[in-house]
Amino acid sequence: MNVTKTNIDGCFILEPRVFKDERGYFFESFNQQLFESLTGAKPYFVQDNESFSTKGVLRGLHFQKGAYAQAKLVRVSKGEVLDVGVDLRPDSVTYGAVVSTVLSAENRKQLFLPRGCAHGFVTLSEEAIFCYKCDNFYHKESEGGILYNDPTFAIDWILAEEELIISEKDKDLPVFKEVIPN
């Protein structure tokens, strides 16, 4: 497995070794011992989630607060997305940093986001199945979010604004300054 550090402290892009032959392919999508030895992170994943989206669907930027914060390991099993993370940890050396990378069924890359990061993605292909492991259980009262087009981050979502399909809930999220007092 190839592991690349990102510009967010504790956030990594992982690329598994893929074994192909005439029958198809095989790869190990997660191995706790290998993950820990390559990243130094020691999440204990307790929940797996999956979502299906069509082209232009933008989900995010979401996070869980306090004791319910979640580290996530995300990947795409069908299609292609632009995946985005934002460091919201005030004591982090990379506070406010943004990471974005294309995850696809073809490149099989994964993104690990430590606790304290907001997360979102936009579907670039006609359809996508997005899979993520979480190291803490979802807790509705602890959910939070930041507006996807917050000028503080100037995230390039690749698609034009008129191509984006965003829930009313996500359109109504606050901007960074309202979520994290400066």
Which residues are the active-site residues?
A: 62, 132
Report helix, strand or coil for 33. Answer: helix
Nearest to 29 by CA among 41, 39, 38, 17: 17
Q: What is the DSSP letter of 116?
A: T
Sign of the Cα torsion 153, 12, 45, 131 reads: positive
Strands 57-64 and 110-113: unpaired
